[in-house]
């Protein structure tokens, strides 16, 4: 027994040093080399500071709506709802989101609504949505802001982030950056 305990204790101490001390220091050091020293991208708009990597709630009709959040965009408590597609409460919640969207976007058919606009992400803090989620909202925003739809579509194109190396992930749009660019349109 002594033969097994001694290596186990030594391995425990080695792993504590490696994983509790050296690894966090290495990650912190790498973060210090990144823009904003690993604090994320901070955007100032109208005198307020926002983190572009954390989802924000946009529900005003003059803005592009963001993806719903299961945690009400609380960055201190990230998480999904853990409700599956057979859960009646979840289905009712999604249907309510669809109904709300259709009331505010009467020219959109139910089949045109992207899943990302009526279902929360796994973290509840997704700052991005699909290009389709932006395009489906153009008519509402154009009407309210009295902006040509073509100009809004051009704005969407300029805000679209391409997949990493053209291969990894879908095209996406950061909702906060898109809405700030929308406010800055003349």
Q: Is 43 helix (H, G, I), strand (E, B) or coil?
A: strand
Per-residue pLDDT of 68-126, as tens digits, reads 888 888 777 777 777 888 889 989 999 999 999 999 999 999 999 999 899 988 787 88
Q: Which of 166, 63, 156, 71 is nearest to 121 (CA)?
A: 71
Does residue 186 surpass a pLDDT of 80? no
Residue tagged 């959109």 (tokens): 108
Q: Which of 64, 60, 69 is nearest to 126 (CA)?
A: 69
Q: Map out the domains of the chain as residue ranges.
A: 1-39, 40-184
DSSP states along 149-177: HHHHHHHHHHHEEPPBTTTBS--EEEHHH
Residue tagged 């409700």 (tokens): 83
pLDDT band at 146 (very low <50, low <70, confident <90, very high): very high
Does residue 178 surpass a pLDDT of 80? yes
Cα(40)–Cα(51) distance, rounded to whole angstroms?
7
Which residues fall within 8 angstroms of residue 102, CB to CB, at 6 or more apart? 108, 110, 113
> For residues 154 and 113, is the Cβ–Cβ distance under 8 A?
no
Cα(73)–Cα(128) distance, rounded to whole angstroms?
13
What is the per-residue pLDDT for 86?
A: 87
Which residues lie across from 117 on neighbouring strands? none
Q: Which two tokens stand for residue 177?
A: 């950056």
């Amino acid at each position: 027994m002594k033969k097994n305990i001694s290596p186990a204790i030594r391995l425990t101490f080695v792993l504590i040093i490696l994983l509790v001390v050296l690894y966090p220091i290495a990650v912190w050091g790498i973060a210090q080399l990144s823009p904003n020293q690993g604090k994320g991208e901070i955007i100032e708009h109208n005198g307020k500071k926002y983190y572009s990597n954390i989802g924000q709630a946009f529900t005003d009709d003059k803005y592009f709506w963001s993806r719903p959040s299961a945690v009400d965009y609380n960055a201190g408590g990230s998480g999904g709802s853990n409700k599956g597609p057979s859960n009646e409460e979840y289905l009712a919640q999604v249907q309510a989101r669809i109904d709300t969207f259709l009331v505010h976007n009467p020219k959109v058919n139910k089949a045109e609504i992207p899943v990302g606009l009526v279902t929360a992400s796994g973290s509840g803090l997704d700052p991005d949505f699909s290009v389709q989620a932006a395009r489906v909202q153009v008519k509402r925003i154009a009407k309210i802001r009295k902006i040509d739809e073509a100009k809004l579509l051009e704005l969407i194109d300029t805000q679209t982030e391409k997949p990493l190396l053209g291969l990894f992930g879908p095209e996406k749009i950061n909702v906060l950056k898109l809405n700030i660019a929308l406010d800055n349109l003349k």
